[in-house]
């Protein structure tokens, strides 16, 4: 039977999973999605995602491709996978692409949103989706620091020790700190760029929080870019506040469903 490529847009709550990437002895988002796909097309052997989100990180716009029999329509994939997936993973759309399509090589950027809750008490409706801090944060120095990160820089200071890539130059097109107009307890750190290093957004968010709390000066971000010293920066923010909001591709496929 002739195969065809399928490109999915997938949303998930990462709280119950050991990250995106398949692991032999852990429940992952990719593994759970592949199991659901195989119930419809047993011959499918892999799913190709753009971003290897960590354990506890959420996504609204993860992009995933796989090759499957072409006789299953896109509507069938979306509705069939909805029936086969647990409630914390949702297929939001499907499109046709060529076989072998790997969205990693067609990604031209990503947008992440990190949510901070400034509240001395727990909010059960935000538990697992925001980093709760008991103290208020000063947005003005956070925004001054964020502005120094815009553009193309060597971000080697903004990565975890496990990231051994030699190319650490990245371009950030947007770094904003916004207060939620509907709920002033919530702050959103919005980061958009071409590519990201391991833990880069979480280190960036944790540093901005330390600056907003007065534990570091806004100038530390520029200093870390110049020196490459991780020690200048703040803490790594917890995974639960991070959302992969959107992945931008240079090709979106055809015959998208829903239209």
- Report pLDDT digits (tens) over 157-213: 999 999 999 999 999 999 999 999 999 999 999 999 999 999 999 999 999 999 999
| Residue 95 and residue 198 in one domain | no
> What is the mean pLDDT of the segment spanning 230-243?
97
- Positions annotated as catalytic residues are 54
Residues 117 and 240 in one domain: yes
In this structure, what CATH number is given to the domain that contains residue 179? 3.30.70.660
Which residues are CB-contacts of 87 (< 8 A; sequence separation ≥ 6)? none
Segments forming the whole domain that contains residue 123: 108-244
Same-domain check for residues 93 and 130 = no
Distance in angstroms (rounded) separating the CA atoms of residues 122 and 84: 33
Tokens 């909010």 — which residue?
Answer: 123
Q: 201 in a domain, yes or no?
A: yes
Average pLDDT over residues 93-103: 96
My answer on whether 232 and 139 are in the same domain is yes
* Listed residues 64, 86, 101: the one ending a domain: 101
Q: In terms of domains, do 45 and 77 share one?
A: yes
Backbone angles phi, psi at 221, to 5 degrees: -65, -45
Band the pLDDT of 2: cuts 50, 70, 90.
Answer: confident
What CATH number corresponds to the domain at position 29? 3.30.70.580
Q: What is the pTM of this model?
A: 0.95
Listed residue (214, 236, 211) closest to 157, CA to CA: 236
Please check whether residue 255 lies inside any domain of the structure.
no
Number of structural domains, the chain?
Answer: 2
């Amino acid at each position: 039977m002739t195969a065809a490529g399928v490109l999915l847009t997938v949303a998930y709550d990462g709280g119950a999973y050991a990250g995106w990437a398949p692991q032999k002895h852990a429940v992952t988002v990719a593994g759970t999605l592949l199991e659901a796909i195989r119930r419809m097309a047993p011959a499918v052997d892999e799913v190709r995602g753009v971003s290897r989100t960590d354990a506890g990180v959420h996504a609204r716009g993860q992009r995933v491709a796989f090759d499957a029999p072409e006789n299953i329509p896109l509507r069938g994939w979306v509705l069939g996978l909805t029936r086969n997936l647990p409630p914390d993973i949702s297929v939001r759309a499907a499109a046709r692409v060529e076989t072998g399509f790997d969205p990693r090589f067609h990604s031209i950027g990503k947008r992440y949103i990190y949510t901070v809750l400034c509240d001395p008490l727990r909010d059960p409706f935000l538990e697992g989706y925001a980093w709760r801090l008991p103290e208020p944060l000063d947005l003005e120095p956070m925004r001054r620091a964020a502005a120094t990160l815009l553009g193309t820089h060597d971000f080697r200071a903004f990565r975890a020790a496990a990231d051994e890539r030699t190319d650490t130059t990245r371009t950030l097109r947007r770094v904003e700190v916004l207060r939620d107009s509907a709920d002033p307890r919530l702050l959103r750190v919005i980061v958009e760029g071409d590519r990201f290093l391991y833990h880069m957004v979480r280190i960036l968010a944790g540093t901005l929080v330390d600056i907003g709390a007065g534990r570091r000066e806004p100038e530390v971000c520029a200093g870390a870019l110049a020196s490459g010293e991780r020690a200048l920066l703040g803490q790594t923010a917890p995974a639960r506040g991070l959302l992969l909001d959107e992945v931008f591709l240079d090709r979106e496929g055809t015959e998208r469903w829903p239209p």
